[in-house]
Structure 1
Amino acid sequence: MTGDTAEVATQNDLAPAALPAADTPAEAKKRKPKTAPNPKRQKEARQRLDSLFSDRSNVWVIHYSCESFYDRPNGASPRITSLAVRSLDSAQTHSFSIHQVAERLKVPFAEIEARYDELERQMLDAYYQHLGAHRGMKYLHWNMRDINYGFAAIDHRYQVLGGTPVLVDDARKFDLSRILIDIYGVAYIGHSRLEKLIEKNEIQPRDMMTGAEEAQAFIDGNYVGLHQSTLRKVDVLANIAERAQNKHLLTNTTWWEMHGGNLRTALDWVADNKVIALVIAVIGLVLAIYAIA
């Protein structure tokens, strides 16, 4: 499972509904969600993204798959199946997975479940060795923010298995999902956002699974499929990040919403164009002198 939650239809979702009365233009305008991004946060988010690409040789795109973190009445931490880190610069990818560890140790597939903790510990040993060998790197991720799903969840799982994690400073973690919200506004794409972005931009999902599919794959013991999905997701995240940085990412946010209206657009354009600003200042000065005369 990943940071995207599955959208499950309930019986009420599937039941036929009465057709709503048509909104008047005024009501439709009132009901429309505000999607325009905050100008200050938008600028800061673009700067963060630009800084990552200007230092791309020191940036890893990271993602991982795990057991479902929902419906866990005993409170046990979700077991991890695979992790991948991809260089934003070279696209070289390092991956760590249960089935590969089992293969190296000559553990038959049928015995993976019985020896899962042992295999998971060795997988995470290799992952943290990689982190330790690349200290100071930056990590671009998707919703890896807390103890349910994120760096803290991996650290906790490793501690449960008896390991001592190599900690990544929070200042070196960059959440692409939040960056995109700051750039394009909270309603820039439907849910689940990652899948909808892939559809909107015609990115081939190939081996990528949804969160619900990954949860089922874990139950089914489809560790190879989970690994392939994780590998595909770091590629997709790098692709989306590059399109956003190049301002080529397609979203549901309109040009008007992106730029906050004509007045803000004009003011920003003048502020960014020193020659135009100078010309306007000179014209204003000439008009002022003419008025006095």
Structure 2
Amino acid sequence: MGEELRRYKKRKETLQRLQAFDDSNNSAVFIHYSCESFYDRPDGSTPRITSIAVRNLTSAQTDSFSIHKTAELRAIPISEISNHYDSLEKEMLSEFFDYLCKHIGLTWVHWNMRDINYGFQAIEHRFKVLGGNPSVSLPEERKFDLARALVSIYGRKYTGHPRLESIVKMNHITDKDFLNGEQEAAAFNNGEYVKLHLSTLRKVDIFANLFERTLQKSLKTNATWLESHGLHPKILIEFITEHWIWVLITAAITILSFYFTIKDHWPKPTPPASTPSVKPAP
């Protein structure tokens, strides 16, 4: 299948799934988590997780799990979190997986949480490293990558890079407490766990905002009308190339239909005039 035709079909599938969210109540939650930098890790270890936020699509209520909240319940000062990090992180992730188990039937909308470096797999792996046993694993069909969905709908050039920060500014969405990846890594190194937590909360709010604007078709992007509708002149060429038999059949049916429509209106040929017979003389 050609690239443009594949993109057109993918866009259609994405829009159908978005519409399914809109047609049902309490069907989705938005998730984001902050962690230690996952770059420049020569030992290959997974980064520590500091906080997780989950926002409900329908109620707009947000549940959160964080290192500093867990430390507070155990009367551990923020300045001493690093000395108890493993146990605090394990307890936090245990609470998260209990929550996931209770909401496994929802669709979890995320932004690029796709692999072992940063994603659901990374959260599961981190919990196992700490000696935990994930009570449930989120099925693939329950995951929805909003970052990929926007590319599918509006095209790769719908906004500049980094895309999340760019689309937020383009749509004038509040970004108070928002930290980019580099800033989050710095905050972790400085032990600013509350700052990381606030950024995580802000991002799930932003995801919900982008999601709702996409549903309402009010999201501002750099995409042209053709791009935002998944249309491209190459689509027709690719369709003809890949479905030439059907094109021939359609052309034949059109020609035959045209023939039978006009054949009765064709002028009928005039018969030749009859020549009177001449009898021979007696």
Which residue, 23, 26, 29 being the options, matches 1:57? Answer: 26
Deviation at 1:287?
A: 11
> How does 1:221-232 map onto structure 2 within 5 Å?
221-232=191-202
Deviation, 1:258, is: 2.5
Deviations 1:233-277 (A, max 9, x none): 001001101111111111111113334269989xxxxxxxxxxxx
Alignment partner of 1:209 is 2:186: no
Residues 263 and 121 of structure 1: is their aligned pair in 2 closer, same or farther, counting only changes over 3 Å? closer
Q: Which runs of 5+ in 2 are unaligned?
A: 237-256, 266-282
Which of 99, 103, 106 is 2:68 aligned to?
Answer: 99
In 2: Cα distance, 1:69 partner to 1:147 partner: 10
Q: Deviations over 1:131-159 (max 9, x none)?
A: 11222221000000000000000000000
Contact kept, 8 Å, 1:147 with 1:153, in 2: the verdict is: yes
Indicate the SS of the match to 2:169.
helix
Query: Partners of 1:231 and 1:36 in 2: how far apart?
Result: 38
Q: Equivalent residue of 2:26, what SS?
A: helix
User: CA offsets per residue over residues 30-72 of structure 1, 9 Å max, x none?
Assistant: xxxx999922111111111111222340211111000000001
The residue aligned with 1:134 is 103
Equivalent-residue separation in structure 2 for 1:288 and 1:246 (angstroms): 48
Aligned identity (percent) is: 50
SS class of match (1:252): coil
1:78 pairs with 2:47: yes
Give the TM-score of the pair, scaled to structure 2.
0.80
Aligned to 1:145: 114
Q: Work out whether residues 4 and 234 of structure 2, in 8 Å CA contact, stay in contact via their aligned partners in 1.
A: no
Unmatched 5+ stretches in structure 1: 1-33, 266-284
Aligned match of 1:278: none
- Across the aligned residues of Structure 1 and Structure 2, the Cα RMSD in angstroms comes to 2.3
8 Å CA contact retained: 2:5, 2:235: no
Q: Which whole-Å CA distance do the structure 1 matches of 2:264 and 2:91 have between them?
A: 82
Aligned partner of 2:85 in structure 1 is: 116
Q: Write the distance in 1 (CA, Å) between the matches of 2:259 and 2:209.
A: 51
Tell me the equivalent position of 1:23: none
Secondary structure of residue in 1 paired with 2:109: strand
Using the alignment, how far apart are the partners of 1:172 and 1:229 within structure 2?
25
Cα distance in 1 between the residues matched to 2:208 and 2:25: 11
Report what 1:248 is aligned to: 218
Give 1:217 shift: 0.5
Q: Distance in 2 between matches of 1:215 and 1:257?
A: 35
Distance 1:70 1:179 in 2: 25
Moved more, 51-60 or 171-180: 51-60
Task: Determine the structure 2 residue equivalent to 1:164.
Answer: 133
For residue 55 of structure 2, give the secondary structure of its aligned residue in structure 1. strand
Of residues 17, 33, 47 in structure 2, which corresponds to 1:48?
17
CA spacing shift, 1:246–1:115, aligned 2, 3 Å:
same
Partner Cα separation in structure 1 for residue 215 and residue 63 of structure 2:
24
1:183 equivalent to 2:183? Answer: no
Distance, in Å, in 1 between the alignment partners of 2:11 and 2:34 is 30
Deviation per CA, 1:101-142, whole angstroms, max 9, x where unpaired? 111100012210010001101111110111112222210000
Larger RCO of the pair (alpha carbons < 8 Å, separation 6+): 1
Provide the rounded CA distance (Å) in 1 between the counterparts of 2:260 and 2:149.
44
Deviation at 1:95, TM superposition (A): 0.1
1:184-223, CA deviations, whole angstroms, 9 ceiling, x for partnerless residues? 1112111110000001111010111111111110001110
8 Å Cα contact 1:35-1:187 kept in structure 2:
no
Conserved 8 A contact 1:59-1:137: yes
User: 2: distance between equivalents of 1:227 and 1:100?
Assistant: 10
Three-state SS of the structure 1 residue aligned to 2:83 is coil
Q: State the alpha-carbon separation in 1 of the partners of residues 155 and 181 from structure 2.
A: 24
TM-score (normalizing by structure 1): 0.77
